[in-house]
Structure 1
Amino acid sequence: MRKTLAIAVIAAGATMLAGSFAAAQEMPTVEQTYRDIEATFGTVPTHFKAYPKSAVAGAWAMTKGLEIKGDNALEPKVKALINLAVAAQIPCRYCTWFETKMARTHGASEAEIAEAVTQAAYVRHWSTVLNGLQVDFETFKAEFGGE
């Protein structure tokens, strides 16, 4: 009886895995992806055209899921400010320009933009100090309440 149950559970799991794999394989074509991008932006930006054709549908799905869908946990302005802070640290002039524009579009003030970028610099500063001086991580955690 146990052996039969175990085989049934394994078979069910394999079926679910195969179904997930098949669903992952059913990505839109490149042409469908480009049409969706154009419907969203009014154009297909060059970086999507330059992206490998074999992966552009997945890249677009990620972009839509994180940046365009309305049911995400973070508000668009917050995401744009986070993105801007990261872009400033990478640094990426394309992303910095775009995310500044997006932050403004979503209502961020110049003070919020400046604070987001400065917050990123603050974290980078202390990361440089902590890592460069090789401060003991366990001691650091203990000094701030552990865990």
Structure 2
Amino acid sequence: MVSDQTRAEIEEYLGQVPSWLDALSEPAADHSWGVVRDLEFGETELAGREKALVALGAAAAMNCPYCIHFHSEEARLEGVDDVGRNEAVNVAADVRYFSTILHGAEVEVDDFRRETAEIVGYIEQQGAEAAGAD
């Protein structure tokens, strides 16, 4: 259970203290809120819209109905429409799909990293050539 100070802070951020926060163990409760506050709600390198889409994609990949609902609503609050939310979920599904193939085929990580570096180099070269043509 969160401390009274943390409870007041959560209520200030969210308008209430969600009941599920009572499931947090005493030693980690305040810290757990701090992580959410600082990482998800705080000012970081990623904009709120980006964080909401990352979170929605991760929630969908984990098949968590609670997280999917929360982060879908969070994305909506950040101005992401249904098309954008669906795209985030589709990207997450694409990543999970290819991860399954890579693991199932036991692709060598070093080979994968080498090929990825070659692909990135090629794309960067194409971009540089296109910029030089302007």
**If the TM-score is normalised by the length of the shorter chain, which range does it land in?**
0.7 to 0.9
Structure 1 residue 86 corresponds to structure 2 residue 58: yes
Q: Equivalent of 1:129, from 98, 101, 106? A: 101
Superposed displacement of residue 145, structure 1:
2.3
Instruction: State the Cα deviation string for residues 9-49 of structure 1 (Å, max 9, x = none).
Output: xxxxxxxxxxxxxxxxxxxx711111111122121101212
TM-score (structure 2 length as normaliser):
0.81
Instruction: State the Cα deviation string for residues 85-118 of structure 1 (Å, max 9, x = none).
Output: 0000111100000100010110012221111100
Instruction: State the Cα deviation string for residues 22-79 of structure 1 (Å, max 9, x = none).
Output: xxxxxxx71111111112212110121221122211111111101222x211111111
- Report which of the two has the higher share of helix: 2
Q: Equivalent of 1:99, from 71, 83, 86? A: 71
TM-score (structure 1 length as normaliser):
0.74
Structure 1 residue 38 corresponds to structure 2 residue 4: no
**Quick check: which has more Rg, 1 or 2?**
1
Please tell me the residue identity of whatever aligns with 1:47. Answer: W
Aligned to 1:113: 85
Deviates more, 1:101-110 or 1:49-58: 49-58
Please tell me the residue identity of whatever aligns with 1:33. Answer: T
Deviates more, 1:29-38 or 1:94-103: 29-38
Superposed displacement of residue 130, structure 1:
0.7
Go from structure 1 to structure 2 and tell me whether the alpha carbon gap of 1:139 and 1:68 turns closer, same or farther (over 3 Å shift). Answer: closer
Secondary structure of 1:55's aligned partner: helix
Please tell me the residue identity of whatever aligns with 1:116. Answer: A
Distance 1:109 1:59 in 2: 29
Aligned to 1:57: 30
Go from structure 1 to structure 2 and tell me whether the alpha carbon gap of 1:125 and 1:48 turns closer, same or farther (over 3 Å shift). Answer: same
Superposed displacement of residue 144, structure 1:
2.4
Distance 2:28 2:109 in 1: 39
RMSD between superposed Cα atoms in Å: 1.4
Distance 2:112 2:13 in 1: 47
Q: Which runs of 5 or more structure 2 residues have no equivalent in the other structure?
A: 119-134
Instruction: State the Cα deviation string for residues 102-141 of structure 1 (Å, max 9, x = none).
Output: 1011001222111110001111111111110111222222
